[in-house]
């Protein structure tokens, strides 16, 4: 049976789209009316067009069905209700085509639901400008998605971060983290030298040297594994 948007998601969409009974130009100049029905969606929205609240409610019902089916086709599998709700809200705002090509949809297809939630934060611009309203909307959608994803045991990778940041270096690949790993090994090496300096013979120092080498190797391995994991999760 086709999935339907819950009342909770419908309220979220109404909240951020707002109700306008006279047509207007949105943030990128597209004629829009009702609860965000835009001319770019193939709808007949013209300048100076007027509708009633009842018509706006009916438009929303009709439009949601379009976006619901679009999200289902894009994802290609059943997902938790709240995750579906968040995706429909996102698609309603950016369009089904953009959603289907988004990293949100791509991560869902990979069954990386927790990671998918972090990708909502990439969609906060309109006309090349970051809009505070979109930042708030994406944060609420991501929170809704995470609430659903927390009950989804099919995740391959679990990361618990609220929102994604613009693409760039993976966190662990930064110079700060590299320096931290190098400093840790250097600290163990320095401690080994001090032990040797304070030990009267090389035979007495040998066991301590072995210990220091083992600790240094373990420290480096742990840092390397964290670096690798962070790179994987920082896609």
The domain ranges of the chain are 7-149, 171-233
Give the pLDDT of residue 40.
Answer: 81
pLDDT at site 52: 97
Give me 151's structure tokens.
Answer: 């009950």
Between 202-233 and 175-197, two packed helices, what is the crossing angle to 10 degrees? 170
Say whether 57 is catalytic.
Answer: no
Which residue from 97, 82, 87, 45 is spatially nearest to 64, judged by alpha carbons?
87
State residue 219's pLDDT score: 52
Q: Does domain 7-149 have CATH number 3.40.190.80?
A: no
Residue 1 confidence (pLDDT): 84
Structure tokens at 159: 């990361």
pTM comes to 0.65
Two structure tokens written together for 46: 């013209």
Residue 225: its pLDDT value, please?
56
How far apart CA 10 and CA 153 sit, in angstroms, is 26
Instruction: Give the list of residues 6+ apart from residue 81 with CB closer than 8 angstroms, or none.
Output: 3, 6, 148
How much is the pLDDT for 14? 98
Task: Return d(Cα 135, Cα 67) in angstroms, integer.
Answer: 21
* Spans of the chain, pLDDT less than 50: 153, 155-203, 205, 208-215, 223, 229-235
Question: Structure tokens of 216?
Answer: 């240094």
Indicate which residue of 7, 17, 57, 62 is catalytic: 17
**Residue 49: what pLDDT?**
96
Residue-level pLDDT at 121:
97
Predicted confidence at residue 70, as pLDDT, reads 97
Distance CA 188, CA 5 (A): 57
């Amino acid at each position: 049976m086709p999935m339907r948007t819950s009342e909770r998601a419908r309220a979220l969409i109404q909240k951020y789209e707002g109700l306008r009974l006279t047509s207007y130009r949105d943030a990128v100049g597209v004629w829009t009316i009702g609860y965000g029905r835009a001319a770019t969606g193939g709808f007949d929205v013209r300048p100076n067009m007027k509708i009633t609240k009842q018509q706006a409610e009916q438009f929303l019902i009709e439009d949601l069905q379009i976006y619901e089916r679009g999200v289902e086709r894009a994802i290609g599998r059943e997902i938790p209700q709240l995750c579906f709700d968040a995706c429909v809200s996102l698609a309603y705002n950016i369009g089904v085509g953009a959603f289907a090509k988004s990293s949100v949809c791509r991560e869902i297809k990979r069954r990386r639901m927790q990671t998918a939630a972090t990708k909502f934060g990439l969609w906060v611009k309109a006309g090349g400008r970051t809009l505070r309203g979109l930042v708030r909307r994406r944060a609420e959608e991501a929170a809704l998605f995470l609430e659903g994803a927390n009950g989804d045991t099919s995740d391959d990778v679990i990361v618990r971060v609220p929102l994604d940041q613009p693409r760039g270096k993976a966190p662990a690949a930064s110079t700060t983290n590299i320096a931290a790993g190098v400093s840790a090994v250097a600290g163990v090496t320095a401690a080994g030298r001090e032990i040797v300096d304070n030990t009267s013979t090389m035979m007495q120092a040998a066991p301590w040297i072995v210990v220091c080498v083992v600790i240094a190797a373990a420290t480096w391995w742990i840092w390397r594994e964290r670096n690798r994991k962070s790179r994987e999760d920082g896609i």
